[in-house]
């Protein structure tokens, strides 16, 4: 009996987009379309596939441990988690940017190698950017959400955060000061699965690539 290939998807909008893409290459999961369902795991017996819904930052964990063969989550999360997994495909949706943002007057703090306070949900990305790219010593303050609040209330000088439309920044008088990197949804694969199930996984990657 063919073994199940298991997908770990990021709960929410990213999972919906991922399912749309998978559907375009003939991979469906009817069970998952019921929006009122609180089920977390779904099976397509015919294709021998399983899908589960996880929080974004947990997707690389499931994939590294091999309980999911394939995962789909944001590049931000993949960089921050830094797990031993293969990133195999840029899915070209969920596009946004990781940026250093703040009040316009904070811009000069970024050009003088001064010690500044950076609030972020992504301490690894922020540390890597300031230490390795800008050679600037910073004090990283880890927050879990509503990062834009930090410079407003005086917790930090700047933030390192995701910008999609820029609306949150604009409505709070903040702006993009520097761009760290572009982001989008990526497909990741467990390193052992990539060898053991090479044929099935490669075929999925290739079909998806053709749809990009």
Of 148, 174, 186, 190, the one binding ligand PRP by CB under 6 A: 148
In angstroms, the first-to-last Cα distance of the chain is 32
The reply on whether position 167 binds ligand PRP by CB under 6 A is yes
Residue 127 CB-density burial (10 A; 0-12 exposed, 13-18 middle, 19+ buried):
middle
* Total of chain residues touching ligand PRP, rule CB under 6 A: 13
User: Binding segment for ligand PRP among 19-27, 105-113, 165-173, 196-204 (CB under 6 A)?
Assistant: 165-173
Report in angstroms how near the CB of residue 144 gets to ligand PRP at its nearest.
7
The reply on whether position 166 binds ligand PRP by CB under 6 A is yes
Nearest C-alpha neighbor of 81 from the set 99, 65, 104: 65
Q: Using CB atoms, what's the residue nearest to ligand PRP?
A: 145
The reply on whether position 161 binds ligand PRP by CB under 6 A is yes
Please enumerate in sequence order all residues whose Cβ is within 8 A of that of 31, keeping only pairs 6 or more positions apart, or say none. 37, 39, 42, 43
3 secondary structure, DSSP code: P
Footprint (CB under 6 A) of ligand PRP, residues 111-140: 121
Q: How far is CA 201 from CA 7, 83, 189, 192, in A?
A: 11, 19, 8, 12
What does the radius of gyration of the chain's CA atoms come to, in whole angstroms? 19
Shorter beta-carbon distance to ligand PRP: residue 5 or 77: 77
Report in angstroms how near the CB of residue 194 gets to ligand PRP at its nearest.
30
- Kindly report the backbone phi and psi dihedral angles of residue 201, in degrees, each rounded to the nearest multiple of 5, phi listed first: -70, -45
The reply on whether position 147 binds ligand PRP by CB under 6 A is yes
Shorter beta-carbon distance to ligand PRP: residue 115 or 181: 181
The answer to whether 34 and 107 have CB atoms below 8 angstroms apart is no
The reply on whether position 99 binds ligand PRP by CB under 6 A is no
Instruction: Tell me which residues touch ligand PRP (CB under 6 A).
Output: 121, 145-148, 161-168
């Amino acid at each position: 009996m063919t073994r199940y290939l298991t997908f770990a998807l990021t709960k929410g909008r990213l999972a919906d987009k991922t399912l749309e893409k998978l559907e375009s290459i003939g991979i469906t999961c009817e069970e998952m379309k019921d929006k009122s369902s609180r089920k977390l795991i779904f099976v397509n017996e015919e294709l021998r596939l399983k899908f589960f819904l996880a929080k974004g930052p947990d997707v690389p964990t499931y994939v590294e441990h091999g309980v999911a063969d394939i995962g789909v989550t944001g590049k931000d999360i993949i960089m921050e988690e830094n797990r031993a997994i293969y990133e195999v495909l840029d899915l070209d949706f969920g596009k946004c940017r990781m940026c250093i943002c703040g009040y316009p007057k904070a811009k000069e703090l970024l050009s003088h190698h001064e010690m500044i306070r950076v609030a972020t949900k992504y301490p690894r990305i922020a540390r890597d950017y300031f230490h390795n790219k800008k050679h600037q010593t910073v004090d990283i303050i880890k927050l879990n959400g509503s990062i834009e609040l930090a410079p407003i209330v005086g917790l930090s000088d700047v933030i390192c955060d995701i910008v999609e439309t820029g609306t949150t920044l604009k409505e709070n008088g903040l702006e993009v000061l520097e761009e760290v990197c572009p982001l989008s949804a990526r497909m990741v694969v467990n390193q052992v699965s990539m060898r053991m199930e090479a044929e099935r996984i490669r075929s999925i990657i290739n079909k998806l690539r053709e749809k990009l």
